[in-house]
Amino acid sequence: LSNAPSNALKLLCSQGIERRMELVRLVSHNTHKRLVSCLQGQLGTDTDKRHKKLPLTALSQTMQEGGAQLGDEGLIGKMMEVCGEAENRLASELMQHEVQIGRDILEPLNQLAELEIPNILKQRKQLAKLVLDYDSAKTRWYQATKSNNQAMAAKMDSLKDEMDEALNKVEICKDQLSADMYNFASKEGDYARYYLMLLEAQADYHRRSLAALEAAIPTIQIQQDSWMEKPAFGTALEEHLKRSNREIALPLEACVMMLLETGMKEEGLFRIAAGASKLKKLKAALDCSTSQLEEFYSDPHAVAGALKSYLRELPEPLMTFGLYDEWQQASHVSDSDKRLQALWVTCDRLPKTHKANLRYLVKFLAKLAQDSEVNKMTPSNIAIVLGPNLLWAKTEGTLAEMAAATSIHVVAIIEPIIQHADWFFPEEVDFNVSGMFALPSHPATPDPESGTERKRPGSLTGQDGDSHTPRKDRYLSRPNLSLSLQESRGPAVSALYVVANESITVTETPTEDLPSPDFKAVP
């Protein structure tokens, strides 16, 4: 009997429950601490105050205030207002989530780590103390039983009662400690469930947040899609025409209208590079659909450069990837009349929007070629300069590779289309198709034969980067490419491609023009 408390205590300790409880207390404490640090709101405050302190709430207020300051005139203000409302809903969802985490997970973890397990461990220390008290009482009683001292013998009864009382306290504490430890072990599944509840709460929070975002995104997307002021350069032709409600791409029409007034007699148009900063400014002006284009009428080379840039930056060439092989096959037909017929059939297969814009451009280029005695831009020269910007293979990469790989074939395709523009596209074209480009009162480009001498931009020297002077260090030169075309296709051409800014030097060996077709085109 005297060894029973000690044996029981050793048994409990040997089972490792106490050590496991200490580990559970430690990891629960650490988890509680880290989980609290993940919360964005202030723990223990009321919901309204907690909501106001969330960073998402501050973001929402900033966005809504910014939207109000910008107003509805621009897209940014509208978008900020809608996004601000969405962020506020996310803040509400986050606040509710954190309140739930605090109630269902943080409080139980804190209770377990700071109260339940420490109380059990305190009982363990109390039991150890009671066992010592019992051992001391037992020793005194045992000594009294062995003593011949009558005084000690007289105390035997009281010592026995003291020992029995100490033993009773040990038994009570041991039973309570055992019950608490076994209860802890039996409730491990409940404690473990806190972590499942954490994931479930997080999943539910993210689902509600996702629902709030999915509800807001369509509204924002409508705002975005309804905004007409979007860049045209680098945007697919169909997308640009659809959102701008146009038939002809804005950069195409604007550049053509400006060139019709001041660029038709400009020597080397599309061939002489424009100043980089002026070209960049014009492209930016066209991207934001500004009508303030007055300053560019006096720089037709910048306008021509912008037109080439627009064609080159289209995600899909104007003459399409899908018909690339057919264009190539048509250009290889040996008989000139049959070749024209094959080109016409391929042209007729272009998508409606691409065909309309190609027709518009070709009609303009044919009009430009009518002044080739002055501007030196014959159909052949135009095809050499613009061809690589109208048609290229989908697999080809850089502009240099594109020019080298497709130049011969593209010239054989583009040149006859320009030469026989009225046969390919018999209907008349109103170049001011949108009606928004009424010609301003600009002096026309002087005719060199009119008596007023006009220097070619390429003859100017000593100018800065905005000059039209072609600088050799500005371009990547490629070797002379001999473009030998069959006699029936037109003049033989040798060209030096200067790819970086599409400047190109052309020399021609005059031959007779392509034969005019004397047949009707049939699909």
Q: Using one digit for the tens of pLDDT, what is the confidence trace for 241-278?
A: 888 888 999 999 999 999 998 889 999 999 988 888 88
Query: What is the chain's percent helix, strand, coil content, to nearest 5?
Result: 65, 5, 30
Element (H, E) at 481: strand 481-483
Q: Using one digit for the tens of pLDDT, what is the confidence trace for 197-211?
A: 999 999 999 999 999
Number of independent structural domains in the chain: 2
Task: State which residues of the chain have pLDDT below 50.
Answer: 1-2, 12, 14, 441-523
Comparing CA positions, the residue from 401, 50, 456 lying closest to residue 271 is 456
User: Is residue 197 situated within a structural domain?
Assistant: yes
Same domain, 64 and 211: yes
What pLDDT, on a 0 to 100 scale, did the predictor assign at position 4? Answer: 52
User: Is residue 310 situated within a structural domain?
Assistant: yes
Q: Using one digit for the tens of pLDDT, what is the confidence trace for 104-156?
A: 999 999 999 999 889 888 888 888 899 999 999 888 888 888 877 777 667 78
Distance between CA atoms of residues 171 and 175, nearest Å: 6
What pLDDT, on a 0 to 100 scale, did the predictor assign at position 15? Answer: 56
Distance between CA atoms of residues 9 and 11, nearest Å: 5
What does the DSSP assignment read for 272-283? SPPPHHHHHHHH
Domain termination site, one of 373, 395, 424:
424
Domain termination site, one of 177, 200, 227:
227
Comparing CA positions, the residue from 95, 110, 90 lying closest to residue 40 is 95
Same domain, 175 and 259: no
What pLDDT, on a 0 to 100 scale, did the predictor assign at position 227? Answer: 64
Same domain, 195 and 284: no
CATH of the domain at 366: 1.10.555.10
* Residue 445 amino acid letter: T
Domain termination site, one of 204, 227, 250:
227
User: Is residue 436 situated within a structural domain?
Assistant: no
pTM, two decimals, is 0.53
Longest dimension (CA), the chain: 153
Same domain, 23 and 60: yes
User: Is residue 500 situated within a structural domain?
Assistant: no
What pLDDT, on a 0 to 100 scale, did the predictor assign at position 3? Answer: 54
Distance between CA atoms of residues 134 and 137, nearest Å: 5
User: Is residue 478 situated within a structural domain?
Assistant: no
User: Is residue 434 situated within a structural domain?
Assistant: no
Distance between CA atoms of residues 341 and 348, nearest Å: 11
* Residue 458 amino acid letter: G
What pLDDT, on a 0 to 100 scale, did the predictor assign at position 223? Answer: 75
CATH of the domain at 112: 1.20.1270.60
User: Is residue 150 situated within a structural domain?
Assistant: yes
What pLDDT, on a 0 to 100 scale, did the predictor assign at position 450? Answer: 36
User: Is residue 250 situated within a structural domain?
Assistant: yes
What pLDDT, on a 0 to 100 scale, did the predictor assign at position 424? Answer: 93
Domain that holds residue 384: 237-424
